[in-house]
Structure 1
Amino acid sequence: MRLSQFSLGGFVTSTLATNLYVSSYAGNITSVQLSQLPNGAYSLNPVSVNDGSVPSPSWLTKDEYNDVVYCVDEGFGVPNSSIASYKTSKSGELTLIDRHLTIAGAVSTVVYNSGKGIAAAHYGNISGGSAVTSYTINANGTLNPIQAFPFTLAQPGPNPDRQEAPHPHEAILDPTDSYIAVPDLGADLVRIFKIDPKTSLLTAVTPIPVPAGSGPRHGTFLKAACGNTYFFLISELANTIASYNVTYSDSGLSFQQLFISGTYGNQSTPVGAAAAEAILSPDHKFLLTSSRNASLFQIKNFDPKNSTLIPSDTLQVWAIDDATGKLDFKQLSPAGGAFPRQFSVNKNGTLAAVGLQNDGRVVVVSRDVKTGLYGDFVASLDVPGQITSIIWDE
């Protein structure tokens, strides 16, 4: 495991440290610490590794209501996947609390109902496993399974290689904590579930159709300062980013499209590109996205002893018009390597941590909060296996 320190001067003692957690298909959850030195330089170092309890970790969620991290695995090559909970610590070490077998293909979770429930999206395949599941959260971080919603397709979608079955890809909580939205890449739907605040039970309501063959992947809601609610959706197969105005009714949600663009903004979408992540900046002024399988940049090697340039896929920055929900493309920036499947931003918005799936590398890149633009890479760390997610614990 190679660690990197980006120094602006001589070595000095670290004064600040933040914990992050990294999941990878190697079967590990790696705890790392990002330390800032008095001279402003950063150092990223491994703290501990939890291996074996979750065979193929695909997604991490930090529960903001307690000091618990939830992890799901996809269950490659076995009939079931699993969901596990871990107690966090100031040192960054994780302690297993609970683990349940569940439907195969789990790829995302979201905590809902003021911390009383957690829902999971299961990608699945033609043999089954396409589903949404839900669990109640106990005070000690243990879970109780409560529901499962399996899905099927009558026939493959326009892209039969990728749309041979429903593929729920992410579970997303709306700003009112009343609904969960689940983009389904295989069915070209955003599935909607209403939350019962008394029981945490979910009720499937009318889903939102999206363009055939677009393959919706991830998304995020925004309660705008003007009072409107927007939903931003990134679609993997069409490589598009779209914004919608969200309307609430007794029967569910409705979406009205406001904007759509290729994920590369003012540039043509490269052949083979695969749109990945879409998140809000902490100040809600910018939408931040990533795309894989198109290395448009050649960047300096993170190993100072190696002069070979690294091919890098991309991150994108979009400014949000609060009044209209439309997006303005601001930046195409290097992600730090290949396949930025998922990334996250610290609470004050000054740093983004990016997991490079195919490079087995985590990088931390600076952000200008005012402009929203990415700056320099400030730290990196090699982590065994294909990285699937990285989250902050602040």
Structure 2
Amino acid sequence: MKKTILLLLVLLCFQVVNSQNSYVFFGSYTTNKSDEGIYVYQLDTNTGKLNKITSISNISNPSYLTLSNNGEFVYACTESKTPNAGSVSSFKFDPKNKSLTFISSQKTNGENPVYLSLDHTEKWLIDANYTGSSLSVFPLAKNGIINPIVQHLPFTEGSINPERQKSSHIHSIFFSPDNDYIVAPDLGADKIRIFPFDSNKKEPVNIQNERFTKTTPGSGPRHFVFHPNKKWGYAIEEIAGAISAYNTKNGKFNLIERTKIESKSLSADFGSAEILISPDGKFLYVSNRGIENNISIYSIKKDGSLKSVATESTLGNHPRNFAIDPSGKFLIVANMNSGNIIVFKRNTKTGLLDKVSELGLKNISCVKIKNI
């Protein structure tokens, strides 16, 4: 009897998992506000092909997206690269009716928002403003409405690169696995800024107790990723083209190693962009723009250090962003300047990539994948 019940539970779980559909959300830079800006496609998890579900227009430069845990709400950086402007907006996705509808928008008090993240309780949204460098903190309602800003944290100091680092440039924002602190790579100041975070407070970011990890001068830290084991973190340095690996215990970052990405160019400005880890924690991927236009693949060793595996072309120009689906089976990269999206199938044993499909879309700057 017990064996029968156990078998039925296993079959039920299998059916629930397989009843989910895999959706891919694309954000873009719109040349005209009336153009489509956010797209939703369904990923065929057998063939890797993308089929359009819906899109939305009349929104200016929805350049970066983040999704609620259940995929119901889409939050976007909007009015990016718009002079004297900057906002965050929310949308409701209904897979049953194949619709994406606008909900709300708030000004960020900072120009050129480039990244935003939800805390693990989904009560707070924080965005990073690149130009005029700052973080903006917004409380969220359960219906996806973004409430007015409650904290705005500006930064000023720069670093040694006269062209790229005259002042601070916060490029992204991440919540720690325990939700107790936030991590904000500052490309302009060569710092990874760290703030205590308390989701139960009216002003959740503890400004007074900021700490930071200094990166190599001129390196330009851009994005960050935590390992699934919650012990390690990795920063991609855009200008230098390097990956710094850290032990991240209790919000204190201790360098494990710094790995320089192999390059075809002697350019001082490398153009590295996104950094992600496969769901099983075995492989790390980095996209590189400029003359490179590739993805560097590394295996992650038992001590958190990296071993180079391969470099794969993204088959396009300017891979600003990519995403790995929750199963780890596919990696989807957006080549923004060449207007093509490539779906790669991942070899989960070797980490290598094989193209399985391609889609043409203009100015795509962000890719997110969610099973719903």
- Aligned partner of 1:255: which letter? F
Give unmatched runs, 5+ long, in structure 2: 1-18
* Distance in 1 of aligned mates of 2:165 and 2:234: 22
Corresponding position of 1:50 = 56
Q: Provide the rounded CA distance (Å) in 2 between the counterparts of 1:16 and 1:337.
A: 31
- Cα distance between partner residues in 1 of 2:82 and 2:234: 33
Equivalent of residue 106 in structure 1, options 113, 122, 126: 113
1:84 touches 1:100 (CA, 8 Å); kept in 2?
yes
Instruction: Give the aligned partner of residue 141 of structure 1.
Output: 144
Could you tell me how far apart the structure 2 residues matched to 1:43 and 1:234 are? 29
Runs of 4 or more, structure 1, over 6 Å off, are none
Alignment equivalent of 1:202, drawn from 193, 202, 205: 205
Q: Which of 249, 259, 263 is the equivalent residue of 2:257?
A: 259
User: Per the alignment, in what secondary structure is the counterpart of residue 252 of structure 2?
Assistant: strand
Written as runs of structure 1 = structure 2, the 5 A alignment for 1:1-394 is 18-26=22-30, 28-35=37-44, 40-53=46-59, 55-65=60-70, 67-90=72-95, 92-102=98-108, 103-124=110-131, 129-144=132-147, 145-153=149-157, 156-199=158-201, 201-204=204-207, 205-224=210-229, 229-248=231-250, 253-264=251-262, 270-271=266-267, 273-295=270-292, 313-322=293-302, 324-375=303-354, 377-384=355-362, 386-394=363-371
Report the Cα offset of residue 351 of structure 1: 0.4
Distance 1:61 1:314, change over 3 A: same
The 1:148/1:268 distance shift into structure 2, 3 A limit, reads same
CA 1:93–1:108: 2 relative to 1, 3 Å? same
Question: How far is 1:370 from its partner?
Answer: 2.1
* Pairwise CA distance, 1:64: 0.7
Is the Cα contact below 8 Å between 2:342 and 2:357 reproduced in 1?
A: yes
Partner of 2:13: none
Per-residue CA shift, 1:63-88, capped at 9, x if unaligned? 11561110012532331211111111
- SS of residue matched to 2:227: strand
Aligned-pair distance for 1:122? 0.8
Cα distance, 1:382–1:189 mapped onto 2, change above 3 Å:
same
Equivalent pair of 2:219/2:240 in contact (CA under 8 Å): yes
In structure 2, distance between residues paired with 1:247 and 1:18: 33
Task: Name which of structure 1's ranges 284-293 and 44-53 shifts more when overlaid on structure 2.
Answer: 44-53
Deviation larger for 91-100 or 352-361: 91-100
User: 2:365 and 2:191 mapped to 1: Cα distance?
Assistant: 24
Q: Structure 2 counterpart of 1:174, which letter? A: S
Secondary structure of the residue that 1:105 maps to in structure 2?
Answer: strand
Shift of 1:179: 0.9
Counterpart AA for 2:356: V
Residues 269/194 of structure 1: CA separation in 2 closer, same or farther (3 Å cut):
farther
Q: CA deviation at 1:16?
A: 9.4
Q: Residue 289 of structure 1: CA displacement?
A: 0.8
Note the aligned Cα RMSD (angstroms).
Answer: 2.0
Q: Identify if the C-alpha distance between structure 1 residues 263 and 93 changes in structure 2 by more than 3 Å, giving closer, same or farther.
A: farther
Query: What is the CA-CA distance between 1:197 and the residue it aligns to?
Result: 2.9
Contact 2:124 2:199 in 1 (8 A): no
Q: Structure 1 residue 157: deviation in Å?
A: 2.0
User: For structure 1, which runs of at least 5 residues remain unmatched after alignment?
Assistant: 1-14, 296-312
Q: 1:169 to 1:159 in 2, by over 3 A?
A: same
Q: What is the rounded CA distance, in whole Å, between the counterparts of 2:222 and 2:115 in structure 1?
A: 11
Letter in 2 for 1:187: A
Q: Structure 1 residue 389: deviation in Å? A: 0.2
Indicate if the aligned counterparts of 1:65 and 1:114 stay in contact, CA closer than 8 A.
Answer: no
DSSP 3-state at the match of 1:363: strand
Deviation sequence 1:19-64 (CA, Å, 0-9, x none):
211111115112222235xxx53432333321112x1122110111
Structure richer in strand, relative to its length: 1
Cα distance in 1 between the residues matched to 2:154 and 2:50: 41
CA pair 294-24 structure 1, distance change in 2 beyond 3 A: same
Q: Deviations over 1:216-246 (max 9, x none)?
A: 001111253xxx7111011011110110112
The DSSP-based 3-state class of the residue aligned with 1:149 is: strand
Partner amino acid for 1:380?
A: E
1:392 Cα offset (Å): 1.1
Percent pairwise identity: 28
Q: Aligned residue pairs: how many? A: 341
User: Counting helix residues as a fraction of each chain, which structure ranks higher?
Assistant: 2
Structure 2 counterpart of 1:238, which letter?
A: A
